[in-house]
Structure 1
């Protein structure tokens, strides 16, 4: 999508073509044409019992993502933490009467939310999706919530252990589920608009190029996207996943994960 001197590119692909994509991605531009926002969610695959909810993870990410997309541009003066809190409350209200929202695996998602104006770029990151901010001189800054990465592997041995001791708990990690107060746990900040040339959001399925396969650093990842496009990054990840599965004992986690990339080249002010 191109508007004036602004260009955005979005790619989202399920890890398994026979299963729905649990990611959500969206870009919104206000009617004024000044500024914009992007939203990327990575839905958390539920356990076999469904997590106490009648609804699917794609149902949840679509509603939460839609609420975030609307609120981020319709309420430009509301901080992003409050935007996420309101979106979570709205989404929870749509199924609180039918579902057990206290279940540790009630539908939930990681969040990347960014909003820019002629003055600033605000950002919010919750859990293990990634936001890359590129400056006009080409320097790339990863904006991360690394709490999950800092946990010892022994603490992540089973889903039951994670759910009972770490998920949405102090000393563990946080995801967007039913509790609006989790918004205060997100990594947030603001950058001067003149210091940001591009923003790129990736779910961990796309970020595997850096984080799992170590094909390059974040600057190399962005260089690939700029040179060949977001689709090329996802295609490279799929090639690496297939090669890895063919030659190794299977790793912990999915062989193929949903992969989403949103790349926004911001218009000059």
Structure 2
């Protein structure tokens, strides 16, 4: 088995709000990965005393432990329990009903000798490669499908589409959001390798159009996750007129996890 994990902040002066983990049980028969992209709030109140990195560390740690130790539970139930556990850690001190309470996108994959299970919530990505080289992207594209007018201001997003029906969902403080995640199961024999990426890394495909998802997967497999992040950073620096980046931040936290089964 080959595993690689690379994560770096968009700004070296700020903490990385992403979280990534790999777990390989001692049985040798399976494993799991967890990738979170913490949502950077706008300036102003969030109702919470804690930082986004505090939240992603708590939620990511709970997801990792539960995914490995509760292999009989579906991933949606595991996400629900992890959100509840994290909420309980700060509900007495924070207003968890605030629309900008700390939150994150989620990718979880778990494999055994029989199957590969996956869960995606919001705009991080999971790519599965079959033995014949076919790459299948598993995405939660609800945010991407919203009209630009719905995302015009932070206040409008919070009032109308963030964690609301007809909008998009992230893991915050409500455990029922786990039922909104994109989930599925693929026979283990149909998966040769997998890659999880936060949207700071998916810029290679989604903003800079360097290739499609198959090209992205091939790049990671051949050159490695760090090479992909290095290329994204170079493209960001070169986009001085913001032809590709538009209103997006110049550099975003970026994470890539690659696993060959």
- TM-score, structure 2 as length reference: 0.98
Q: What is the aligned counterpart of 2:33 among 26, 31, 38?
A: 38
Distance 2:136 2:156 in 1: 33
Distance, in Å, in 2 between the alignment partners of 1:247 and 1:186 is 32
Residue 172 of structure 1: aligned partner? 167
Q: Hey, what does 2:12 align to over in structure 1?
A: 17
Alpha-carbon offset, residue 247 of structure 1: 6.3
Alignment of 1:139-178 (within 5 A): 139-178=134-173
Deviation for aligned residue 1:135: 0.2
Q: 1:3 maps to what in 2?
A: none
SS at match of 2:145: coil
Aligned to 2:115: 120
**Residue 201 of structure 2 aligns with which residue?**
206
What's the CA shift string for 1:18-77, capped at 9, x where partnerless? 000000000011121210000000000012224110000000000000000000010001
Partner of 1:66: 61
Aligned to 1:233: 228
In the other structure, the counterpart of 2:185 is 190
Q: 2:47 aligns with which of 36, 43, 52?
A: 52
Matching of residues 94-109 of structure 1 within 5 Å:
94-109=89-104
Listed one character per residue, the Cα deviations across residues 3-31 of structure 1 (whole Å, up to 9, x for unaligned) are xxx11100000000000000000001112
- CA deviation digits over 1:178-232, x for unaligned, max 9? 0000000000000000000011000000000000000000110111111111000
**What RMSD over aligned residues (CA atoms) do the two structures have, in Å?**
1.1
Find the residue that maps to 2:105 and give its secondary structure. Answer: strand
- Which sections of structure 2, spanning at least 5 residues, go unmatched? none
How far, CA to CA, are the matches of 1:47 and 1:85 in structure 2?
Answer: 26
TM-score in terms of structure 1 length: 0.95
Runs of 4+ in structure 1 over 4 Å off: 246-250
Q: Is the 8 A contact 1:30 1:74 kept in 2?
A: no
Mapping of 1:214-225 within 5 angstroms? Answer: 214-225=209-220
SS of residue in 2 equivalent to 1:61: helix
What is the CA–CA distance in structure 2 between the aligned matches of 1:122 and 1:208, rounded to whole Å? 25
Gaps of 5+ in 1: 1-5
Q: Give the number of equivalent residue pairs.
A: 261
Asked whether the 8 Å contact 2:8–2:16 carries over to 1, the reply is yes
Q: Is the 8 A contact 2:34 2:63 kept in 1?
A: yes
C-alpha offsets along residues 97-144 of structure 1, whole Å, 9 cap, x if unaligned?
000000000000000000000000000000000000000000000000
Query: In structure 1, the residue corresponding to 2:240 is in which secondary structure?
Result: helix
Per mean C-alpha deviation after superposition, the further-off stretch among 245-254 and 29-38 is: 245-254
Maintained 8 Å contact 1:245/1:255:
no
